[in-house]
Amino acid sequence: MSEIDTLVPVPEDGKITLSTGTVLVLQPLKARQFFKLLRIVTHGAAPVLPTLQFNADDSTEEWVQKFLAVVLMALPESDQETLEFIASMVKPDGLIEGRKLNKADEQRNDALWDAVEKDLNNPELEDLLTIIEAIVRNEAEDLKALGKRLMSMLELAKKTGQLPA
């Protein structure tokens, strides 16, 4: 078990229990969620990004620590974007899906979503950090790989004169 796993445990089932008792299921990061995450980082942490050294040789644990620092520094300037991102990355546990729903199923699903919306409208600080940490940890390998690809693209653009050195 790594240091990060100790600090930021990611449940194997992808579920997070909030302080209110609401259970959330983490969703995979896709394009729209990625854009929301970029909006958080670019709005809130743009001034400090050049000072952080993300290296292709960083271990996943090092990369997670650096990226969490960026996201956490961005939160005060990106409060609405953060709440929208979190809401897009979770769903309530126990949703009835995959079949035509009857009225009782729809009411049950609506009640689950209502609880999530209530809890995420102004979440407890502990819950906010738990969710963000779990998302970053859960998506770390993919985000790190994407970061490496973007870094190599930018380096190529600089070498070919498409970007200033």
**Per the structure block, which two tokens stand in for 158?**
């600089």
Chain segment 14-67, per-residue pLDDT in tens? 899 999 999 999 999 999 999 998 888 888 777 766 666 676 677 878 878 888
Position 165 in a domain: no
How far apart, in whole angstroms, are the C-alpha atoms of residue 72 and residue 51? 15
Bigger pLDDT: 8 vs 58: 58
Position 164 in a domain: no
Residues 131-151, mean pLDDT to the nearest whole number: 83
Chain segment 66-116, per-residue pLDDT in tens? 888 888 888 888 889 999 999 999 999 999 998 999 999 999 999 999 999
Bigger pLDDT: 143 vs 109: 109
* pLDDT attached to residue 28: 93
Q: Residue 119 — very low, low, confident or very high, per pLDDT cuts 50/70/90?
A: very high
* pLDDT attached to residue 9: 52
Position 32 in a domain: yes
- Sole residue written with tokens 């940490």: 133
Q: What is the DSSP string of 70-90?
A: HHHHHGGG-HHHHHHHHHHHE
**In sequence order, which residues have a C-beta less than 8 Å from that of residue 105 and are 6 or more positions away?**
96
Bigger pLDDT: 135 vs 13: 135
Position 139 in a domain: yes
Phi/psi of residue 92, nearest 5 degrees: -70, 145
Structural domain for 117, as ranges: 3-95+102-159
**Per the structure block, which two tokens stand in for 118?**
């209530």
Give me the number of domains the chain comprises: 1
Residue % of the chain over a pLDDT of 90: 43
How far apart, in whole angstroms, are the C-alpha atoms of residue 158 and residue 4? 34
Sheet containing strand 23-26, edge to edge, reads 15-17, 23-26, 90-92
How far apart, in whole angstroms, are the C-alpha atoms of residue 102 and residue 8? 39
Position 46 in a domain: yes
* pLDDT attached to residue 49: 65
5 pLDDT more than 60: no
* pLDDT attached to residue 102: 94
Q: Residue 2 — very low, low, confident or very high, per pLDDT cuts 50/70/90?
A: very low
